[in-house]
């Protein structure tokens, strides 16, 4: 194997080039993702899973990104709810109450967040849930629901 090294005087760094280096799949990162375009209705006062992903973790940090469009079919109602992320049954993220106001029916709001988790090695399923407070009337829908898990390694 041929290795080329270059030294940068300004940054005082060495860059190594391995032109013939072969890296096995999932040795640097392990990506897992899910996307669902269709709308999902959620019931008031009931936590609803809107997306999930399963991963076999090695114990390295996992970068998690989630997003969805939320829509109200009725005008004059705003979205008041919570986004929650679980690793199996363990809650690892809670947004606190989110407010999305609109004055016209069918207007969508985009919600997204990033989180990190460092579980032990093993098989896990992550769940993105929405909870709508019972004091909020109207109908609630989620679409374009996505989740990406990226276990990062050296």
Q: How far apart are CA 29 and CA 56, in angstroms?
A: 12
What pLDDT score was predicted for residue 83?
92
- In the chain (154 residues long), the average pLDDT of successive 10-residue segments reads 68 70 73 94 86 95 93 68 94 88 69 95 96 70 94 81
The per-type count for the chain, helices as H runs and strands as E runs, is 0, 12
Q: Domains in the chain, start-ordered, CATH in brackets?
A: 24-152 (2.60.120.660)
What pLDDT score was predicted for residue 32?
95
What pLDDT score was predicted for residue 111?
87
User: Strand pairing partners for 110?
Assistant: 69
What pLDDT score was predicted for residue 135?
57
Two tokens at 31? Answer: 């990506």
């Amino acid at each position: 194997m041929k290795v080329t090294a270059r030294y940068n005087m300004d940054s005082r760094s060495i860059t190594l080039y391995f032109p013939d280096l072969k890296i096995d799949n999932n040795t640097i990162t392990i990506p897992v993702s899910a996307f669902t375009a269709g709308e999902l209705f959620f019931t008031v006062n009931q936590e609803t899973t809107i997306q999930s992903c399963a991963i076999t973790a090695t114990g390295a940090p996992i970068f998690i990104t989630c997003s969805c469009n939320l829509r109200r079919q009725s005008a004059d109602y705003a979205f008041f709810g919570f986004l929650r992320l679980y690793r199996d049954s363990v809650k690892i993220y809670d947004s606190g109450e989110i407010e999305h106001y609109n004055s016209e029916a069918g207007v969508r709001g985009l919600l997204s967040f990033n989180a990190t988790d460092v579980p032990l090695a093993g098989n896990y399923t992550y769940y993105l849930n929405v909870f709508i407070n019972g004091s909020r009337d109207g109908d609630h829908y989620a679409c374009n629901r996505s989740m990406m898990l990226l276990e990062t390694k050296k």
